[in-house]
Every structure is written in C-alpha cells, then in structure tokens.
Amino acid sequence: MELNSYLEQQKALIDKSLDNILNQTDTVPSPIHEAMRYSVFAGGKRLRPILFIAACDAVGGNSEEILPVACALELIHTYSLIHDDLPAMDDDNLRRGKPTNHIVFGEAVAILAGDGLLTYAFEIMFKLGLKTKKPEKLFQAGLEIARGAGTQGMIGGQVIDILSENQKIDEKTLLYIHNHKTGSLITGAIKAGAILGEGSKKQIECLTRYGDNIGLAFQITDDLLDVQGDESKIGKPVGSDDKNQKATFPNIYGIESSKKMAREAIQNAEESLEMFGEEADPLRLLARYLLIRES
Amino acid sequence: MELNSYLEQQKALIDKSLDNILNQTDTVPSPIHEAMRYSVFAGGKRLRPILFIAACDAVGGNSEEILPVACALELIHTYSLIHDDLPAMDDDNLRRGKPTNHIVFGEAVAILAGDGLLTYAFEIMFKLGLKTKKPEKLFQAGLEIARGAGTQGMIGGQVIDILSENQKIDEKTLLYIHNHKTGSLITGAIKAGAILGEGSKKQIECLTRYGDNIGLAFQITDDLLDVQGDESKIGKPVGSDDKNQKATFPNIYGIESSKKMAREAIQNAEESLEMFGEEADPLRLLARYLLIRES
C-alpha cells in the first residue's frame, strides 16, 4: 500500500461526502452556509475522518455505512479551528494560507458558523441513527466523539492554552494542553471507528493506545513545523507560536528531544497494532506519515 | 391545576437535574465549568424543558426517564444566550439583571463555555442512548432538537437578526428572524417531547402547531416587555432593542396590533390542543402564562 495514493483516495471520498452533506444545508439564503463551506473546504487534510475510517477497517468493520460520522468529525474539527482563530482567542488572520473565517465573513458570522458546524455534526449522527442497525454502537461512538470534543477533551485543552498565554508553563500543563486540545478528538475518532466497526474490547484498548500516541506525535511535529517548517507548505508564518508566546514542545524540551519524543510516540503507536493483521496497514502508514509530514 | 405552583415544581425538578449533570463535569480544575454553571444558574425560567416535559406528558409518556433531554435543551438555550451576548453579536453587558458571561469570565472563556454547553447537551443525549429502550425515538428527538438549534433553525434566525441590525427590515424578515431565533427550538423541544412520549402522528402534528403558535406569542410578548415592561422584572433596561435598532413587533405593527397578534397566537395554540384531555392541562396553562408573563 502506497501512502500518498491512500491519503488522496480517502480524502477524495470524504470530500465528496462533505460536499453532499453541506449542499443540503444551502436551502435558506444566508451567508452562514457559505461561511461553513469556506472553512470546511479550505484545504484540510481530513486526518480525523481518515483515522476514524482506518480504525473501523482495522477491526473488520464496514466503513462505508458510517461515512456520515467521518464527516461529522471533520465538521467538529473545522468549527474548533474557526473559533480558535477568533480575535478573542488566538487572533489569527491566516490558516492554511487563506484568510481565516472571521476575516472573510466578520466575527459574528464566524462564531455562528462554528456553532452551526458543531450542531450540524450531531444532527448528521442522529440522522444516521434513524437507519442504523446498530443503535447502541452509534450512541457509544457519539459519546466518545462528544467527550473528545468537550470540556474534558478538546475544549478543555483550548481553555488552558488560552489562559496560559504569556505565562511560563510547566511540562505537566504543556502535556495537558496538547493531550486535550489535539489528542482527545483524535483518540475519540479512532475509538468511535473501532466501536462502530464492532471491535472487541481488547482491540478498542489497543487502538486507544495507538490514538493517544499518534495524537502526541502529531502535536510535537506541529510545534516543530512551526519552528522549522516551510512557510509555503504549512500555510502560516514560521514562528507564529513564538509570537503568541505559546507553550510548545521545542520551547520546553528543545528541538532534538522533541524529535526523539515524536519518534518514540510513533514507535509506541506501531507496537499497539501488533495484534492486528494487514487490515491495520493504513493505520501503520498513517503513523509513519505523521512523523514525516511537512504540512 | 395552579400555574405558579406547577411552574415552580417543574423548575425545581429541572434545576436539580441540571445541578447533578453539571457537577459531573467539575473534575478538571478550569474556569470553564464555573462559567458554564454561572449562566445555566443565572435565573432562567426553564421554559423549553418545561414545554418538553409537558408535551411528553400530554401524549401519555413517561417524562421522568427523559429528564436528561430536558436538561440538554436548557444547555443549548443557555449556550445561545452566551454567544448572543458577545461583543461581536448583541454586545450585552446584562442578562436577567446579572453581568453577562463574557463580562465575568472574559470573551475567550465565554465563547468556549458556549461551545462546551452545546457539546455537552449532545453528550448527555448519547449517554441516555446507552440505556434507552427506544433508541429510534431518541434519534428522532435528537434530530428535532439539533435541527431546531441549527442553521435552519435558531442559528439561522440569529444570523439574519445580526445582519439586519441598523437596517430597515420588512414583515417577512421579522417573522423569519423570530420564527427561527426563538420559535425553532421551542417547537423542536415540544416535538421531541411528543416523540419520546410515543405520541401518534396526529398528536405530534397538533403539538407542532401548538409550538409554532406559542413560539410566536412568546417573541411578541418579549418585544412588548422591552417597550412596556418593568425593568426590575425583565432584568435589563427597557428600550434596549430600540438602542440596538432591532426589528421588533411593536416597531413594525405598533403596540395594539402586536398585542392582538399575541392573543390570536395563543388562541390558535389552545385550539391545537382540542384533541387532548386533561393530560394537556399544563400545556394550556403554559399558553396562558406566555400571554400574561411579566419577565
């Protein structure tokens, strides 16, 4: 299996599904649907949906019928980016090389577009519930996703991140921020995929460990790209975390130690997949990709 | 049945349940849970949960087992108030006589507290799904609530409201704003209650008509209170809509015609209940209450 073609193929699948899902909301003339589409199609890698699908496939599930949940994950991720970029939060004008949502549509519409994406994500899941044959699995998966996105997950991390700006923070707080801000929804996506694929308790445990580790590696490489990346590839100025006095892995551990931590996390992630056969090859590829990505 | 004691009793039931539900999120030390509790317990009337429960009771359902959904409705309503009050939106410093969320906790935490309440509302519903015996009804009810709260419901109304400020708007736009901004979640709550109570198609239709009419009456009386109300009872300065150049019923139709419209809507709501027996008495009381309320 070749990484790039796999990623492209999965991204195309998800983009098509997102396009369908977001077209259905365009019945009322209002700039909000335009604003929602703008950020959803602003060049995301679709990492969370791809991991979700790969986890479902790894336990032998049928990922085709749960594509709406994959889309819901991307909507939740996108809402969080729109709100993170707001003037009252990180105050970012650029995201993936494009003007952020509030720069294009104004602050009020950006806030509401985020709210709309979050609400719509759950609407999609309830709608899938009307035709699912496994309602209890969908409730479980929905719960994992909501928890991953909530105040004890992603939002919790963002709160502490915002409140720690311009302050000297310790390792524990840095890890708390990143485990929650980025890690929780990634792990939630992977668990949800494994649950909907009807994985065993043991399989779900291993995939949760995989998720925790790639979440960590993802965040470390993100911080490293901010220091050493190629601006044309990451779509924002190098050094923007420094400008915001953000807590980052390179700031606390230095560049070399951060790289080593990322490698170790990926190794742990790969070891978590030992019980799986070739169905988990996409997850193995994705782990390698997170280590070498340039954007 | 006596109105005040019914309202007090239902409010106490919902407040207790909200208190339980929001205590469970207090495990991580973070100002966000304090911010969420602050606005949830800032003196709301619990109208949406009460209507939801009354609709379930009206069709002979067991409203006790669906109390978490009643709480979810109040969390969604509260999130919408927090975001509406933000500087980028209505920029209100007072709500129900108390400083608004962003005044107390800052804008970033207020945005995230709203996000957290919205996410938690759905988490609660998924959690209930793990023990429900009627999963398909819960998915249907969740869908009604998500739609009522979404961009074709409440958020849709708020977008047009914000974008219409300081502009001369016509009747059609006024009705669109209010049907969506206030009406959609009220009707969604009532439909969800009737669905979870296993009401018949005909019953759900009648209760939907009831909901549409009391939603309209609610908004008209809200606008009238802003012009003629008692500041100490409504908790904000009289005339604040005028200050924001908001589209209101009294502005477009005049005070007397607005009062007449509210009375007619309540009459329509009462007529929609003709097929129901005394199980619908709370809904009848609530309709009268919406006409005579002072806050």
Higher pLDDT, B235 or B51: B51
Q: If you average pLDDT over every residue of chain B, what do you get?
A: 92
Q: Which residues on chain B are in Cβ contact (under 8 Å) with A83?
A: 111-112, 115
CB distance from B89 to chain A under 8 Å? yes
Q: Is the CB of B151 less than 8 angstroms away from the CB of A111?
A: no
pLDDT over threshold 70, residue B119: yes
The CATH number of the domain where A158 resides is what?
1.10.600.10
Q: What is the pLDDT of residues A249-279, one digit of tens each?
A: 998 899 999 999 999 999 999 999 999 999 9
Of A6-20, B179-193, B215-229, minimum mean pLDDT range = B215-229
Chain length of chain A: 295
Q: Is the CB of B129 less than 8 angstroms away from the CB of A139?
A: yes
pLDDT bracket for residue A239 (50, 70, 90): low
Q: Which residues on chain B are in Cβ contact (under 8 Å) with A108?
A: 88-89, 159, 162-163
pLDDT over threshold 70, residue B257: yes
pLDDT over threshold 80, residue B242: no
Q: Quote the CA–CA distance of B80 and B182 in Å, as a whole number.
A: 10
pLDDT bracket for residue A248 (50, 70, 90): confident
Of A256, A176, A199, nearest to A224 by C-alpha is A256
Q: Is the CB of B111 less than 8 angstroms away from the CB of A88?
A: yes
Q: What is the pLDDT of residues B71-86, one digit of tens each?
A: 999 999 999 999 999 9
Quick check: A6 and A285 in contact, CB under 8 A? yes
Q: Is the CB of B30 less than 8 angstroms away from the CB of A151?
A: yes
Q: What is the pLDDT of residues A35-93, one digit of tens each?
A: 999 999 998 999 999 999 999 999 999 999 999 999 999 999 999 999 999 999 999 99
pLDDT over threshold 70, residue A29: no
What is the number of structural domains in chain A? 1
Q: Determine the distance in angstroms separating the CA of B31 from the nearest CA of chain A, rounded to an integer.
A: 8
Instruction: For an interface test with A, give the residue of B23, B105, B115 to mutate (most A CBs within 10 A).
Output: B115
- Give bridge partners of residue B95 from the DSSP assignment: B98
Of A130, A24, A136, A28, nearest to A75 by C-alpha is A24
- Give bridge partners of residue A83 from the DSSP assignment: none
CA dihedral A187, A193, A196, A200 (to 10 degrees): -70
Q: Which residues on chain A are in Cβ contact (under 8 Å) with B36?
A: 151
pLDDT (0 to 100) of residue A252: 87
pLDDT over threshold 80, residue B65: yes
Q: What is the pLDDT of residues A185-198, one digit of tens each?
A: 999 999 999 999 99
Q: Which residues on chain A are in Cβ contact (under 8 Å) with B106?
A: 88
pLDDT (0 to 100) of residue A243: 58
pLDDT (0 to 100) of residue B197: 98
Q: Across residues A151-171, what is the average pLDDT?
A: 90
pLDDT (0 to 100) of residue B290: 87
Q: What is the pLDDT of residues A94-137, one digit of tens each?
A: 998 999 999 999 999 999 999 999 999 999 999 999 999 999 99
pLDDT over threshold 80, residue A32: yes
Q: What is the pLDDT of residues B172-182, one digit of tens each?
A: 888 999 899 99
Q: Quote the CA–CA distance of B195 and A223 in Å, as a whole number.
A: 48
For chain A, how big is the Rg over CA atoms in Å? Answer: 18
Residue A40: burial class (beta carbons within 10 Å; 0-12, 13-18, 19+):
buried
Q: Quote the CA–CA distance of A71 and A16 in Å, as a whole number.
A: 10
Q: Strand ranges (DSSP E) for chain A?
A: 94-95, 98-99
pLDDT (0 to 100) of residue B34: 94
Q: Across residues A157-173, what is the average pLDDT?
A: 88
pLDDT bracket for residue A183 (50, 70, 90): very high
Q: Which residues on chain B are in Cβ contact (under 8 Å) with A152?
A: 25, 27-28
Partner A, chain B 125-164, Cβ-Cβ below 8 Å: 126-127, 129-130, 135-136, 138-140, 142-143, 146-147, 149-152, 155-156, 158-160, 162-163
pLDDT (0 to 100) of residue A229: 67
Q: Which residues on chain A are in Cβ contact (under 8 Å) with B78?
A: none
Q: Quote the CA–CA distance of A276 and A120 in Å, as a whole number.
A: 34
Instruction: For an interface test with A, give the residue of B34, B80, B81, B119 to mutate (most A CBs within 10 A).
Output: B119
Domain, as residue range, for B53: 3-292
Q: Residue written as tokens 């720690």?
A: A164
Q: Quote the CA–CA distance of A141 and A280 in Å, as a whole number.
A: 20
Plot region of A60 (φ>0 → left; ψ -120 to 50 → alpha; else → beta)? left
Q: Quote the CA–CA distance of B114 and B105 in Å, as a whole number.
A: 12
Amino acid at A280: A
Of A268, A155, A260, nearest to B112 by C-alpha is A155
Amino acid at A104: V
Among the partner residues B31, B36, B108, nearest to A88 by beta-carbon distance: B108
Of B147-151, B174-178, B258-262, B273-277, minimum mean pLDDT range = B174-178
pLDDT (0 to 100) of residue A231: 64
Percentage of residues in chain A having pLDDT higher than 70: 91
- φ, ψ dihedrals at A211, nearest 5°: -60, -45
DSSP-assigned states of every residue in A188-220: HHHHHHHHHTT--HHHHHHHHHHHHHHHHHHHH
pLDDT over threshold 80, residue B26: no
- What CA–CA distances, in Å, run from A72 to A107, A294, B92? 23, 26, 32
Partner B, chain A 14-73, Cβ-Cβ below 8 Å: 25, 27-28, 30-33, 36
Of A149-158, B26-35, B39-48, minimum mean pLDDT range = B26-35
pLDDT (0 to 100) of residue B27: 56
Exposure on the CB side of residue A98, measured as CA atoms within 13 A: 15
Q: Across residues B163-179, what is the average pLDDT?
A: 87
- What CA–CA distances, in Å, run from A82 to A243, A269, B50, B107, B123? 20, 30, 34, 15, 21
- CA dihedral for A224, A229, A232, A237, sign (positive or negative): positive
CB atoms under 10 Å from CB of A205, counted, come to 15
Higher pLDDT, B13 or A248: B13
Higher pLDDT, B42 or A28: B42
CB distance from A103 to chain B under 8 Å? no
Search chain A and give the residue with CA nearest B27.
A152
Q: If you average pLDDT over every residue of chain A, what do you get?
A: 92
